[in-house]
């Protein structure tokens, strides 16, 4: 049931692949479609589907003879949102950055070598980039807060991530390792990450690091806006982002000190 020496349960790994497939699907999926897509036998596929239906992670749609995501997936999403919720002080910082930069503002938190969007400050006039909502964590090489994390990683941990490749998200995405490493050295030197048209054509992002009381990198304050505006308002936007990161650093340190005080 497990890969030798890996500590990975094959049945659990398969179940996660099933859920990933349903999450990416545009609608209900039949057992045969799932088996073909994942390269599984039909009996194995039915065992997995039955287990996930019993657990509430999938539902069986009898009339369509297909399956779809169940309510437990939404429970997991709400649990994630609770766990990554940021302190009120950090939310206020994001609102200030949103107002000062006249752009959607984000707080992304570092979680086990992933930068996950934990809070978004937006409005109809300055909306966030879709799909940069709470919980987003993909393609770090193509986002400003992701590049910030990559620049902060020790070399061996960085290589462990880069070995999986740099998929192209837009025509502007940096997919060359040499160029990305050059970018990351610049990010580490300036304490600022910028991506231009790499995640979504015509839109760009900027991010500055947030640290805890011990000086450890724990997150980022970021903004997104049309590329033309970023170029024309570069310095005022950079000031708002850098100042927001300083304020968020203070807020994170204060929240940590308050929690530790309660523990004692």
Q: What is the mean pLDDT of the chain?
A: 91
Q: Which whole number is the average pLDDT over 24-34?
A: 94
Q: Which residues pair with 186 in a beta bridge?
A: none
Ranges 74-78, 87-91, 148-152, 230-234: which has the least confidence: 74-78
- Cβ pair 162, 219 in contact under 8 A: no
**pLDDT (tens digit per residue) in 149-162:** 999 999 999 999 99
Strands 115-121 and 104-110 turn out to be antiparallel
As a whole number of angstroms, the distance between CA 138 and CA 133 comes to 11
Kindly tell me if the per-residue pLDDT of 4 is higher than 50. no
Number of H helices, E strands in the chain: 10, 7
SS3 letters across 91-149: HHHHHHHHHHHCCEEEEEEECCCCEEEEEEECCCCCCCCCCCCCCCCCCHHHCHHHHHH
As a whole number of angstroms, the distance between CA 52 and CA 19 comes to 9
As a whole number of angstroms, the distance between CA 230 and CA 254 comes to 31
As a whole number of angstroms, the distance between CA 138 and CA 173 comes to 14
Kindly tell me if the per-residue pLDDT of 135 is higher than 60. yes
Stronger pLDDT, 111 or 263, i.e. the higher one:
111
**pLDDT (tens digit per residue) in 185-208:** 999 999 999 999 999 999 999 999
Q: What one-character DSSP code corresponds to residue 86? A: P
Q: Which whole number is the average pLDDT over 245-251?
A: 95
**What pTM did the predictor assign?**
0.79
As a whole number of angstroms, the distance between CA 214 and CA 249 comes to 11
164 band by pLDDT with thresholds 50, 70 and 90:
confident
Kindly tell me if the per-residue pLDDT of 37 is higher than 90. yes
Domains of the chain: 10-75 (1.10.10.10), 84-263 (3.30.450.40)
Stronger pLDDT, 242 or 131, i.e. the higher one:
242
Query: What pLDDT does residue 224 have?
Result: 97
**pLDDT (tens digit per residue) in 99-117:** 999 999 999 999 988 999 9
DSSP string for 242-257? HHHHHHHHHHHHHHHH
């Amino acid at each position: 049931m497990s890969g030798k020496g890996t500590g990975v349960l094959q049945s659990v790994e398969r179940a996660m692949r099933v859920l990933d497939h349903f999450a990416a699907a545009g609608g209900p999926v039949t057992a045969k479609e799932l088996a073909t897509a994942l390269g599984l036998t039909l009996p194995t596929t039915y065992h997995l589907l039955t287990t996930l239906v019993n657990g509430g992670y999938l539902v069986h749609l009898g009339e369509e003879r297909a399956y779809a995501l169940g309510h437990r997936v939404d429970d997991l999403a709400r649990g994630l949102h609770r766990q990554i919720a940021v302190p009120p002080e950090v939310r206020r910082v994001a609102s200030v950055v949103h107002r000062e930069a006249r752009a959607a503002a984000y707080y992304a938190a570092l979680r086990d070598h992933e930068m996950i969007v934990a809070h978004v400050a937006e409005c109809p006039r300055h909306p966030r980039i879709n799909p940069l909502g709470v919980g987003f964590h993909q393609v770090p090489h193509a986002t400003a807060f992701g590049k910030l994390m990559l620049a902060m990683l020790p070399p061996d941990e960085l290589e462990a991530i880069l070995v999986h490749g740099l998929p192209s998200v837009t025509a502007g995405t940096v997919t060359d390792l040499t160029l990305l490493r050059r970018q990351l050295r610049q990010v580490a030197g300036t304490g600022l990450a910028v991506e231009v048209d790499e995640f979504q054509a015509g839109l760009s992002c900027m991010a500055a690091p947030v640290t805890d009381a011990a000086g450890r990198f724990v997150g980022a304050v970021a903004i997104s806006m049309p590329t033309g505006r970023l170029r024309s308002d570069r310095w005022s936007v950079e000031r708002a982002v850098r100042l927001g990161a300083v304020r968020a650093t203070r807020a994170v340190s204060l929240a940590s000190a308050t929690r530790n005080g309660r523990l004692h």
